[in-house]
Amino acid sequence: MKLKAPPGTEDILPAQAGLWQRLEATAREVFARWGYGEIRTPVLEFTSLFVRSIGEATDVVEKEMYVIGEGDDSLALRPEATASVVRAYLQANLHKVRAFQKFYYIGPMFRHERPQAGRRRQFHQMGIEAIGSLDPLLDAEVVTVACELFGAFGLSGFRLRLNSIGTPTSRRGYRELIRERLGRQAEALCPDCRRRLERNVFRILDCKRPACVEITRNLPSILDHLPEDEREHFRRVCSALRSAGVEFEEDPYLVRGFDYYTATVFEITHGALGAQDALCGGGRYDNLVADLGGPPLGAVGFAIGVERVLMALRESGQAEERPRLDVFVATVGGDVRPAAFTHLVALRRAGLRAEADYEGRSLKAQMRSANKLGARFVLIVGEDEARQGVFRLRNMATAEEKVLPDIQAVIAEATTDRGSNRCA
């Protein structure tokens, strides 16, 4: 019997969950402020949805999907969420209500990759999709949301790169050009890239092997081979980003791993991350809505890898802050424990973070627990206090003790000056 979590998956224990919750709450706030509404789609979809959208000759579809069953009924654990969001948008006929709609999602994705630092088999993404417009200002908005979000996470030092890859039709000429050029140097390419020559030549631009990088960096820029209207679109995106004060670099060799991308593509990386340095990937996918049976509508979005954000935060020294406790209820002697329990309930009902001892420990050990938990106050309930009907509250920062007449006075004292210690 295997009693460990499967490779490439991990448990998020309470000590880490606080940071996850903080990131999720921040993302929800930022997405809502920028006008994105939450969408939750199933973790399972028909496999054909991903084959059709992401593309048959991509790594994700070829090698990395968890597929259950065969044929038309075959299901897959979602490797990403864009296809699901578009499917849901069309299935609910949202385009008939109003074509232009903006969504966000947060949730787990699944890819059967070789697990390593920053590469998991179950990982989490938070992303947005703005469907129903070809406006270059919308590309700029989506890119800006990603950067704002990293700012709101308190993460700096990330790098944003931007490119335009045209459409399958408009890039045909460039594709033939690079296929011909790369074909002449096929021997020098890695075995994967030699295979990509026929199947997916653009992915060669994405290869990280030094020999392949050296060859691809001598290729002409795709931007010079796109039609004027597409170049103009890209210029407008760049200009809107500059005017919004978003720093970016144009990278003519940036491509993305999914077939549905058209026109603007972007990636955000972080230097603290090592080999798997991408925090966020996104771009336009102007053919996908129609490819999935809807009307011809432009769309743009991104996905951020939550585990990678956490890694970048840790690497750049953003310590995890454990929520502090407001009051630890310490008891002296077993007889007072039921009374102390009533106080504990009253404190919690009043919105305070309160804890007590359930292990029958001595007062000294209870004080140590209170310290460890970062308690601001300790309510000491002994037989004397119980008999006299008073409440002894110790301020842990000043070591000052107050004798208070009732639990309401304790609540009032512990509620003042809570600062960042609030539950919400």
Rounded Cα–Cα distance for residues 308 and 125 (Å): 10
Q: Does 410 bind ligand AMP (CB under 6 A)?
A: no
C-alpha distances out from residue 183 to 21, 177, 366, Å: 49, 10, 73
C-alpha distances out from residue 103 to 33, 38, 43, 302, Å: 12, 6, 17, 11
Q: Does 257 bind ligand AMP (CB under 6 A)?
A: yes
Q: What spatial distance separates the first Cα and last Cα of the chain, rounded to whole Å?
A: 41
Q: By CB under 6 A, which span of 136-144, 180-188, 223-231, 272-280 interacts with ligand AMP?
A: 272-280
The residue among 130 and 378 lying less far from ligand AMP, judged by its C-beta, is 130
Task: List the one residue from 87, 171, 284, 308 that touches ligand AMP (CB under 6 A).
Answer: 308
Using CB positions, name the residue nearest to ligand AMP: 305
Q: Can you tell me whether residue 172 is helix, strand or coil?
A: helix
Number of neighbouring beta carbons within 10 Å of residue 366:
21
H/E stretch holding 392: strand 391-395
Query: Site residues for ligand AMP, window 89-128 (CB under 6 A)?
Result: 111, 113, 118-120, 123, 125
Would the CA dihedral through 229, 232, 236, 238 be positive or negative? positive
Q: Does 382 bind ligand AMP (CB under 6 A)?
A: no
Q: Please state the closest distance from residue 121 (CB atom) to ligand AMP, in A.
A: 7
Q: Please state the closest distance from residue 149 (CB atom) to ligand AMP, in A.
A: 13
The residue among 234 and 260 lying less far from ligand AMP, judged by its C-beta, is 260
Rounded Cα–Cα distance for residues 226 and 169 (Å): 10
136: tokens are: 């270059």
Q: Strands 299-305, 122-131: parallel, antiparallel or unpaired by DSSP?
A: antiparallel
Q: Please state the closest distance from residue 65 (CB atom) to ligand AMP, in A.
A: 12
Binding mask 273-302 for ligand AMP (x = CB under 6 A): -----xxxx---------------------
- The type of residue at 159 is R
Compute how many residues bind ligand AMP; rule: CB under 6 A: 17
Q: Does 305 bind ligand AMP (CB under 6 A)?
A: yes
Task: List the one residue from 59, 80, 129, 385 that touches ligand AMP (CB under 6 A).
Answer: 80
- Binding site residues, ligand AMP, CB under 6 A: 80, 111, 113, 118-120, 123, 125, 257, 278-281, 303, 305, 307-308
